[in-house]
Structure 1
Amino acid sequence: MNVRLVLVAGSLMLAGCGTTGMGRGATGGGGQSGPVSSTVISAMGGGLVSGSIGSGLSGSERRSGLEAEYKALEYTPSGQPVVWRGSQSGRYGEVVAAQPYRVGSQDCRQYTHTVYAGGAGVSARGTACRNADGSWTPLT
């Protein structure tokens, strides 16, 4: 009887070490389809693509990059790229999120966004934490 109690308690402790909200419906390469809501995108404050790596991109290309950031953070397993394509040939990018971890009651992930605009890629790194409403807030 005591052995069962120890096994159950140990299982519960291990289950508590996992993260929540990550990987739901994950497919290789972040294959989630459909638009990301404007509310969720707004909470990201422009993400990494709004910085210097996004200069020269159109508004729709920055939106595609920001959606890729969200999909990488929310749905994609660690190390798998989420690729987005721009409206002009040669403009695209990829976002790769690292393993999720917990800070207090929030799930957080580091990630890298690389933008290609006709030449070599330009990369930026950041960290974002997931809010209760499903949005992600980049840390400054």
Structure 2
Amino acid sequence: MKAKPLIAIAMAASLLTACQSTGPKETIGGLGGAVLGGLLGSQVGGGRGQLVAVGVGAVLGGLLGSSIGKSLDDTDKLMMERTTQASLEHVQSGQTSTWSNPDSGHSGTVTPVKTYETSSGQYCREYQQTVTVGGEQQEAYGTACRQPDGSWKIVSG
């Protein structure tokens, strides 16, 4: 990735965190969302249009990540991670796995949608994920690839 998109991502992330007083979950969620949004934006267009897409992606990703991050507690995140790992490993494409935390009322789903092997022999899966916080559902799409230790690592999202 070029230096200019990274600068745009960093600037957007710092602007997001400077605008409000946030807790650690919200800050981490916002920064993570800004980075992912910026990465997705960097895949759009070229030249000036690409820089604009990076900035917009970083801001929108930061806002979404911040919103989810401020609400998910450690148990929610653990349940989501375990469900995602198990779904990517054991569930057929098109089948949905769910998680639900009765203490927080938060829930989510993970649905693998496509499995493929890269030219280097690495297995990857595209998936759809939802998270419901306070009755409001957010959707995300991503790709995860199997690591040498057998775990799945998100490579885009």
TM-score interval (norm. to shorter): 0.5 to 0.7
Provide the secondary structure at the position in 1 that maps to 2:76.
Answer: helix
Could you list the structure 1 runs, at least 4 aligned residues long, displaced by more than 3 angstroms after superposition: none
Q: Look up the match of 2:137.
A: 121
One-letter amino acid of the counterpart of residue 143, structure 2: T
Q: 1:1-12 to 2 correspondence within 5 Å? A: none
In structure 2, the gaps of 5 or more residues are 1-31, 34-64
- Once the two structures are TM-superposed, the CA of residue 89 in structure 1 deviates from its matched residue by 5.3
Give unmatched runs, 5+ long, in structure 1: 1-49
The structure 1 residue matched to 2:72, chosen from 57, 82, 106, is 57
Task: Return the alpha-carbon distance in structure 1 between the equivalents of residues 129 and 100 of structure 2.
Answer: 13
Letter in 2 for 1:75: H
TM superposition score normalised by structure 2: 0.53
TM score, norm. by length of structure 1: 0.59
Tell me which of the two structures has the higher relative contact order, counting C-alpha pairs closer than 8 angstroms and 6 or more residues apart. 1
Q: How many aligned residue pairs are there?
A: 91
Do residues 101 (structure 1) and 116 (structure 2) align? yes
* Change in 2 beyond 3 A, CA 1:54/1:64: farther
Provide the C-alpha distance between the structure 2 equivalents of 1:88 and 1:117, rounded to a whole number of angstroms.
12
- Answering whether residue 63 of structure 2 is matched by residue 70 of structure 1, we say no
Aligned to 2:100: 85
Identity across matched positions, percent: 34
Q: CA deviation at 1:138?
A: 1.2
Name the CA shift for 1:89/1:137 in 2 (closer, same or farther; >3 Å). closer
Deviations along 1:43-89, one digit per CA (max 9) or x if unpaired, are xxxxxxx7527421111111100111111111100011110011435
Give the helix-richer structure, 1 or 2: 2
Given residue 113 of structure 2, which amino acid in structure 1 is its aligned partner?
Answer: A
- Please tell me the residue identity of whatever aligns with 2:84: E
